[in-house]
């Protein structure tokens, strides 16, 4: 059984204790932070956290402004939990990359159900988990271990979503892949609210692999559609 990890970011100790209790009863590993500073420390120490429960009103900053920064750096799901029942805040939070927006007071069992829903949407589709190696330019990419190795410069490790995005583009090399397909494949959401997240994810993959350094390999932007991987790609199915 997979033990999922959740980070509660809230400055109300009684609420943190209650939320911790219900998630531990449901077999989650729980971490806590009462400030944004503590949250960043925990995320960098535990990059495999599955979901962040993010309050908006924190002593050292506004969680709403932080949501997009989390999305740009980590693959975790984000559920905003707040007493601010403002429609505009909800729109901004979801457009910044939050997966869900829950107003306090929250029913604890519902919160667990919402967290599980976010985790299910974030899980890689079955057809993207086959053991296949991809070779392009000087790179060998193994999506099963989220790693790409360059025969000249060594290996780089990617996050789950970086690896999935690269695999999708490699599988469709030479053809444009729409933002909608990328978004639905990675997180199950409509592309409209998550265009920036896809763009940032592509930028991270480009930076890690320096895909344009040889001139014949690149992730190109296709205006009005999405992205396209250009260059020769060889897929090898491993037995």
The answer to whether 16 and 39 have CB atoms below 8 angstroms apart is no
Neighbours of 224 (CB within 10 A): 8
Domain span holding position 162: 126-237
Listed residues 122, 152, 178: the one ending a domain? 122
Is it the case that residue 229 has pLDDT exceeding 90? yes
Which CATH number characterizes residue 62's domain? 3.40.50.2300
C-alpha 105/C-alpha 155 separation (Å) is 47
For residues 105 and 151, membership in a common domain is answered with: no
For residues 147 and 108, membership in a common domain is answered with: no
For residues 108 and 72, membership in a common domain is answered with: yes
C-alpha 131/C-alpha 123 separation (Å) is 17
User: pLDDT tens-digit profile of 161-206?
Assistant: 788 899 999 999 999 999 888 877 776 544 444 555 788 888 888 8
Domain count, the chain: 2
For residues 50 and 98, membership in a common domain is answered with: yes
For residues 11 and 106, membership in a common domain is answered with: yes
For residues 215 and 135, membership in a common domain is answered with: yes
Listed residues 79, 98, 122: the one ending a domain? 122
SS3 for 199? helix
Neighbours of 230 (CB within 10 A): 17
| pTM > 0.75 | no
Q: Note the pLDDT of residue 191.
A: 43
Lowest mean pLDDT among 1-10, 98-107, 138-147, 186-195: 186-195
């Amino acid at each position: 059984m997979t033990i999922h990890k959740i980070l509660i970011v809230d400055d109300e100790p009684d609420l943190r204790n209650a939320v911790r209790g219900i998630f531990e009863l449901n077999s989650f590993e729980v971490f806590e932070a009462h400030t944004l500073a503590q949250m960043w420390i925990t995320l960098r120490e535990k990059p495999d956290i599955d979901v962040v429960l993010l309050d908006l009103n924190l002593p050292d900053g506004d969680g709403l402004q932080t949501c997009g920064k989390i999305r740009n750096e980590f693959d975790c799901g984000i559920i905003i939990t707040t007493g601010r029942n403002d429609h505009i805040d909800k729109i901004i939070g979801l457009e910044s990359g939050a997966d869900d927006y829950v107003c306090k007071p929250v029913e604890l069992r519902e919160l667990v159900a919402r967290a599980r829903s976010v985790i299910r949407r974030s899980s890689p589709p079955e057809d993207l988990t086959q053991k296949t190696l991809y070779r392009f330019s000087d790179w060998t990419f193994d999506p099963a271990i989220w790693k790409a190795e360059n025969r000249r410069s060594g290996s780089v490790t990617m996050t789950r979503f970086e690896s999935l995005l690269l695999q999708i583009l490699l599988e469709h090399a030479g053809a444009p892949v729409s933002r909608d397909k990328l978004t639905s494949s990675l997180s199950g959401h409509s592309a409209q609210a998550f265009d920036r997240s896809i763009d940032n994810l592509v930028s991270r993959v480009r930076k890690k692999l320096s895909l344009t350094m040889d001139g014949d390999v690149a992730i190109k932007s296709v205006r009005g559609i999405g992205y396209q991987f250009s260059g020769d790609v060889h897929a090898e199915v491993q037995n």
